[in-house]
């Protein structure tokens, strides 16, 4: 399988990439961190890693041209790149922080879809998995920007599902609660009681490969790690 993953340098994206490569799949990934250089070194061709911010639509467009010319349309497109806000009442969150989160969590997903999904549609197959959250289906105080972005991902993905041809799927996926830097930003040391990303990937990665047209437009959670 050819699997495209955004936000691949750490957390869930990194764990998924490592699992898929270890199990013989080709991973095409992007990320903003300098760790992308290490991924290039440790996982050479056919896997393919690019330093990229999904917010920069023109750079996403150029990346897509390169990837599609080299690899063709991906079998799975996993929109994972996201930010978490520093917990605070909504009125205390600076506009700059709010805007940056919305740009990455919503606009970045749309940018990647805009430049990769047409090739998937032309081929008539492929699965788009947009990482949602329990906070995309329920709410908690002090994470309003993140909740807003993930509620948006739920709606965006379910609407996209209605636009796809038969044989394809778009699925909003709640990964569950995993001990990552993002969760520690929200819950501090409380995150340590949850599974590590590597253990999560052992369940989530094969589960994602099982997603397909029968689940098109359905809100799904990783088994045992859902809401």
Coil, helix or strand at residue 17 = helix
Phi–psi pair at 87, nearest 5 degrees: -55, 130
Asked if 101 and 50 count as a contact pair (C-beta separation under 8 A), the reply is no
What's the burial of 168, exposed, middle or buried (CB within 10 Å: 0-12/13-18/19+)? buried
CB 176 within 8 A of CB 130: no
The answer to whether 113 and 128 are in contact (CB under 8 A) is: yes
> How far from the centroid of its chain's Cα atoms is residue 51's Cα?
16
Q: Count H helices and E strands in the chain, helices first.
A: 8, 7
Residue of 116, 135, 146, 200 with catalytic role: 146
Phi, psi of 172 (to 5 degrees): -85, 125
- Decide if 20 is catalytic: no
Tell me whether strands 76-79 and 2-6 are parallel, antiparallel or unpaired: parallel
Catalytically active residues, by annotation:
146
């Amino acid at each position: 399988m050819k699997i495209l993953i955004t936000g691949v340098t750490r957390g869930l994206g990194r764990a998924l990439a490592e699992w898929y490569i270890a199990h013989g799949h080709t991973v095409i990934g992007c990320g903003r961190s300098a760790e992308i250089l290490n991924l290039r070194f440790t996982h050479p061709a056919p896997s393919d890693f690019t330093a990229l911010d999904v917010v920069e639509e023109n750079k996403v467009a150029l990346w897509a041209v390169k990837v599609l010319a080299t690899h063709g349309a991906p079998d799975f497109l996993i929109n994972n790149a996201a930010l978490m806000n520093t917990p605070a009442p909504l009125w205390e969150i600076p506009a700059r922080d709010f805007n940056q989160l919305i740009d990455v969590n919503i606009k970045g997903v749309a940018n990647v879809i805009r430049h990769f999904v047409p090739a998937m549609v032309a081929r008539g197959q492929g699965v788009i998995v947009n990482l949602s959250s329990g906070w995309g289906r329920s709410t908690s105080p002090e994470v309003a920007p993140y909740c807003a972005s993930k509620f948006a991902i739920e709606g965006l993905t379910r609407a996209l599902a209605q636009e796809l041809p038969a044989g394809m799927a778009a699925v909003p996926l709640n990964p569950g609660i995993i001990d990552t830097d993002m969760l520690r930003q929200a819950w501090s040391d409380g995150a340590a009681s949850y599974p590590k990303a590597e253990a999560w990937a052992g369940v989530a990665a094969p589960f994602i490969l099982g997603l397909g047209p029968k689940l098109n437009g359905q809100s799904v959670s990783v088994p045992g790690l859902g809401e």
